[in-house]
Amino acid sequence: MNIAMGLLQQDDVYLLQLRNGKKQAGGLNLIGCFGGKIEPGETALQAACREVTEESSYAPTTQQAELLGEVNVNSDWKDQTITVHATVYLFQVPPQTKVTAHEGELVTMSLGEIRRSLDKFTPGTRACFEQLVKE
């Protein structure tokens, strides 16, 4: 499955979502980036912007995106293990912008807090911080 992930950073914290909603969405009770499947005819960048907009109150444009890279992981989807290929984009959220999560619960964490809590993250988000975020 090909997905796009949008990693939101505001100042020195990352804005993530605790996936406490529908089980079939995958990653139940884990923390993850905003993101999801790339639709037919959509680029990974377009999908990342759409997914961030659908899952949060923040609506980034494609011009705001910084490509972090790609990760491949095994994850769960509808109670099955699947291989996921994720293209990950970073979006810098302006300092005074208030962001809320439309799906799940908004979680804000520093990079240090994230590194100490990787076992609480979805496989894709964990791989993103282990392989792509180099601060």
Q: Residue 14 contacts by C-beta under 8 Å, 6 or more apart in sequence? A: 7, 8, 108, 109, 110, 111, 114
**Domain 2-132, CATH 3.30.70.2190 — does that match?**
no
pLDDT tens track for 3-45: 999 999 999 999 999 987 655 456 678 999 999 999 999 999 9
Question: What is the reported pTM?
Answer: 0.90
Report whether pLDDT(71) > 80.
yes
Among residues 79, 75, 82, 85, the alpha carbon closest in space to that of 38 is found at 85
pLDDT digits (tens, 9 = 90+) for 103-131: 889 999 999 999 999 999 999 999 999 99
